[in-house]
Amino acid sequence: MTTLLGFDFGTRKIGIAVGQTITRSATPLTTLRNRDDKPDWPRIESLIREWAPSALVVGLPFNMDDTEVDWSPRVHRFARQLQGRYGLSVHLVDERLTSIEAHRQLAARDRKTPTLEAVDALAAALILETWLGEQD
């Protein structure tokens, strides 16, 4: 079994999920708030040590016309930083509509407005499951 961590990168917060290759499923873990406009590297490092993933998956936001969003260079930079800091393979995957789907799933489950933290963590799980589903 191979463990992976998935990231829903945002300019203010980052949703994180854990998944594995056998069932190709993922579970939301947490949402971290950025500090001084930077990722919370100590908490990310702690999660990487705890889960010991073999690779990381980062959602790359696209517009509906298949172009990357205007802030996607920040996502690419985050992915490069993850790879440089932890020496792990980092895979980018189209995350289009994952936050909307996460919000829909949580609202249907609880029948109330979900917290943004819950949405981001579930979006990270959906991003990771998208990547897992694309693997042969």
| Residue 91 structure tokens | 């895979």
Question: Which residues in 69-124 belong to E strands, given as ranges?
Answer: 89-94
**Inter-residue long-range contacts of 70-78, CB under 8 Å, 24+ positions, other chains counted:** 71/11, 74/9, 74/11, 75/9, 78/7, 78/9, 78/14, 78/39
Going from the C-alpha of 112 to that of each of 31, 63, 108, 115, the distances in angstroms are 19, 28, 8, 9
Q: How far is it, in rounded angstroms, from Cα 18 to Cα 131?
A: 12
Percentage of the chain modeled with pLDDT above 70: 95
Tokens for 6?
Answer: 């998935």
Helix (H, G, I), strand (E, B) or coil at 84: helix
pLDDT tens digits, one per residue of 37-85: 899 999 999 999 999 999 999 999 888 888 888 889 999 999 999 999 9
Domains identified in the chain and CATH numbers: 3-134 (3.30.420.140)
With cut-offs at 50, 70 and 90, classify the pLDDT of residue 111: low
Q: Mean of the per-residue pLDDT values for the chain?
A: 89
- Provide the pLDDT for residue 112: 63
Percent composition of the chain: helix, strand, coil (DSSP 3-state, to 5): 45, 30, 30
Q: What is the pLDDT of residues 24-37, one digit of tens each?
A: 999 999 999 998 88
What pLDDT does residue 114 have?
A: 61
Q: What's this model's pTM, rounded to 2 decimal places?
A: 0.88
Grade residue 122 by pLDDT with cuts at 50, 70 and 90.
confident
69, 35 contact by CB (below 8 A): no
